[in-house]
Chains A and B, each alone.
Chain A
Amino acid sequence: MILVNRREQIAWEEGLTVARLLERLRFTFPQIIVSVNGELVRRDEYGTRAVPDEADVRVVHLMAGG
């Protein structure tokens, strides 16, 4: 299992990347900041950066606006 935003438990899968995780979560908003185990992930690394099992993932959506 991995923990998303200190709340949601998501089942881990073999080969899980940041991009795949965002897709599973339906996090489609473009202005997000992703960190895996405290480390920021650049947008161009989403497709390649692996998310290990038990990871603490934060996905901060920036819109405080509307």
Chain B
Amino acid sequence: MTENSREASSVLAKHTYTVSAVVRGYAGRTLYVNVGDGVIESKPVTQEMKDKFIGGRGFDLWLLWNGVADDTKWDDPENEIVISSGPCGGTTQYPGSGKSIVATVSPLTNVVIDSNAGGHFGPLLKFAGWDAVEVQGKADKDVIVVIDGTTGTVRIEVAPEDAPGDTHLLGRWLLDRYAADEEARRYTSSITAGTGSEHTRMGCLNFSLYDRKRQDLRYKQAGRGGIGTVLRDKRIKALVVRSRPVKGDSNAPADLGRISRTGAEMHREVREFDPIQNRMRSRGTSYLVQIMDDYDLLPVHNFRYGSHPDTPQINGDVWEARFTQGLPDGCWYGCTIACAHAVDGYEVKSGPHKGQIVIVDGPEYETIAAVGSNCGIFDPDVVLEINFYCDTYGIDTISFGTALGFVMECYEAGVLDTEKTGGLELSFGSADAALAVLHQMGQGEAFGEVVGLGIRGMKRYFVEQYDTDARFLQDIGMEAKGLEYSEYVTKESLAQQGGYGLTNKGPHHDEAWLIFMDLVNNQLPTFEDKAEALHYFPMWRTWFGLCGFCKLPWNDVVHPKNAQSAEPSKIPHHVQNYVEIFSGVTGREVTSQDLIDMAEGVYNFQRVFNIRLGYGLREHDAIPYRSVGPVTAEEYESRADRYDEQLRELLNLEPETMSTEEKMSALRVHRERQYELLIDAVYERRGWTADGVPTLSKLQSLGIDYPEVVAVVERHL
């Protein structure tokens, strides 16, 4: 179809603009699109935005803050989806410099969710002239938003009725429609969700990239928090961006030589050490499956246990044999770590796409653990099938696997039975039933509709409909703030309990992963040590999302010289690389401390944003007891030596004289108290009140004491 004929039939609104050159990592303006009333506008990027919010997640939060009201809910028209890469996004000289960060008010948590993805959308958006896009409003029919940096046009088009619903078909359909030749395909990217996003609260976004070697599309997911659900609620079928060809200097860095030198050094490190360290280039993050099992940290049977004898059936070696090897599987140009592997030529075995031959992107560690071990499914074929369908339906694999583990425990505990599940026998390991639930979620029918509510929604539903014991559900339901946990067992690491609980968006590992430092290395023996780590690492890791960086190159390949550094866990020579790249791109000379300061401003702004929306206080940082200690006698007994010793050593008790119930109860009192003490220490370190509110002086020191921000916190001081 030509653009002219499309225009005549389907364009609801159109905006033309001059594509200005990127300067030092910034296009200099953001794009506003309202799919409800057809308003399309350009907004300037101010110096204040660059100084305080940097880009990426910072820009997302600033634009979202100004777009929504105090009482905005996820499905209100004024809720927005904002997408931005950041000033370093689109750099091709340093590995992992093409991430996009998305934010919206989440249907799972009712507060701001941020989620990042690979794929080409964010960098191409910038090269099409925009540092961010914010979409608002609700269309009354399915629409496609097209941002064309080759013609300088933005259009809202009606999506034809024959447009497919699920991503693996829809993405291809979009490519055929909007990118006629090979060159256009290379510089076109889409964001889509899928039918599962329409029917569940845990919808994800698929960011496409055109894989030149395969001459086909790949997808990377912004999975967390239900952003796909918001996209489909707005009746946006897809966002499509096209830019002019990308070159090594498209991001127009202030000092190309500086970033090239830093990048070359890092590429050497990757080539030399990845093969003898984590082997990301051949196995991706799947190497973690066996490692986590070895350290008793792999979630098994709804996080009850940390290991299982069948783990070798889904470990990294299995995936290495299945992943197509020898292809440059980076999710943006120049990523030599290239961990974004795929299984090619997979024949779909069930559901509406049965018999199709597809590429399955992944699975990554989180997916394998979530839909595999956590559900007692140790069959790689089933893991692949679920991975494929979650992605194409637009369902977050982490939320799906964690929610299904909860359902399976409820089934085995008698909370659910076949009458309530519509005949599905959902005990741990029931692969067919797991797939049946997933297909029901794709169609929005039967028991799948209930699971699609997410764990918090299910807890409410089970109490209301089946009069279930709310405390039991609270104990075993692995969600906090409404978001399902990502895949690490935290019972023995108090610091990581905080790493999940004391987050802005909910329990996801991208803020802090402290289990080894705390549990194995014993580097955080005191509350102050833990609080310091729960200050530094969340800020540091937030910083990646401000700039468009992937975190993996920071710590998944490390030069041996790091062993001699004063703080090896921070990987100081890589931190210095980021100082070089940020300075080299933006021309703003910074130190490693400046990076933390930048992130701290945005982090606190997000905390205040949550408070503004009616959450973000101490009570909202509560976590389920399953993440703290053993909920059931069976769980206690499975690690009885460990727990008994703690009762003896920490509490001076004599476990041999106590019943299992008494021991569990004593341990619970102790561990819950420890978590409260941890909260006190962390809030103090972060400059927050005992209720978790950033103080005025903290806001002032960070330079974010804007009147509307101060007004929010003053209500709680």
Contact = CB atoms under 8 A, between A and B. Distances in A.
Chain B binds chain A: yes
Interface of A: 5-7, 26-31, 33, 40, 42-43, 58-66
A62 B295 contact: no
Given A26-B294, A59-B521, A64-B570, A31 B558 contact: yes
A66 B488 contact: yes
A60 B568 contact: yes
B665 interface: no
B387 interface: no
A62 B568 contact: yes
B278 A43 contact: no
A64 B558 contact: no
B405 to A, nearest CB: 19
Interface residues of B, number: 36
B513 interface: yes
Given A60-B569, A62-B571, A64-B537, A30 B276 contact: yes
Among B513, B558, B569, residue most surrounded by chain A Cβ atoms (within 10 Å): B569
A28 B291 contact: yes
A33 B521 CA distance: 10
B522 A5 contact: yes
A36 B523 CA distance: 17
Interface stretch (B471-479, B549-557, B693-701): B549-557
Among B290, B520, B522, B555, residue most surrounded by chain A Cβ atoms (within 10 Å): B520
Contacts of B276: 30, 43
A6 B526 CA distance: 13
The 4 closest A-B CB pairs, nearest first, are A66-B513, A61-B516, A65-B555, A33-B563
Contacts of B514: 64
Given A6-B525, A59-B520, A64-B516, 16 more contacts: A5-B522, A29-B295, A29-B516, A30-B277, A30-B278, A42-B560, A43-B276, A58-B521, A60-B523, A62-B555, A64-B514, A64-B570, A65-B513, A65-B551, A65-B554, A65-B556
Contacts of A59: 520-521
A66 B485 CA distance: 13
Among A26, A60, A66, residue most surrounded by chain B Cβ atoms (within 10 Å): A66
Nearest to B556: A65
A7 to B, nearest CB: 5
B509 interface: yes
Given A26-B295, A61-B516, A63-B513, A31 B552 contact: no
A62 B569 contact: yes
A28 B522 contact: no
A27 to B, nearest CB: 8
A43 B272 CA distance: 14
Secondary structure of the B contact surface, majority rule: helix
Nearest to B278: A30
A37 B569 CA distance: 20
B517 interface: yes
B295 A64 contact: no
B350 interface: no
Contacts of B551: 65
Nearest to A29: B291
B468 interface: no
A54 to B, nearest CB: 18
B401 to A, nearest CB: 16
B86 to A, nearest CB: 19
A60 B521 contact: yes
15 contacts: A5-B520, A27-B520, A31-B277, A31-B558, A58-B521, A60-B523, A60-B569, A62-B568, A63-B513, A64-B516, A64-B537, A64-B555, A64-B569, A64-B571, A65-B552
B562 interface: yes
Given A29-B295, A40-B564, A66-B488, A61 B521 contact: yes
B488 to A, nearest CB: 7
Contacts of B571: 62, 64
Contact of B509 (A6, A40, A62, A66): A66
A29 to B, nearest CB: 5
A29 B294 CA distance: 9
Given A30-B278, A65-B551, A66-B488, A5 B521 contact: yes
Interface in B494-552: 509-510, 513-517, 520-523, 525, 537, 551-552
A38 to B, nearest CB: 13
Nearest to B552: A65
A15 B446 CA distance: 63
B283 to A, nearest CB: 12
Contacts of B288: 66
A6 B521 CA distance: 9
Nearest to B525: A6
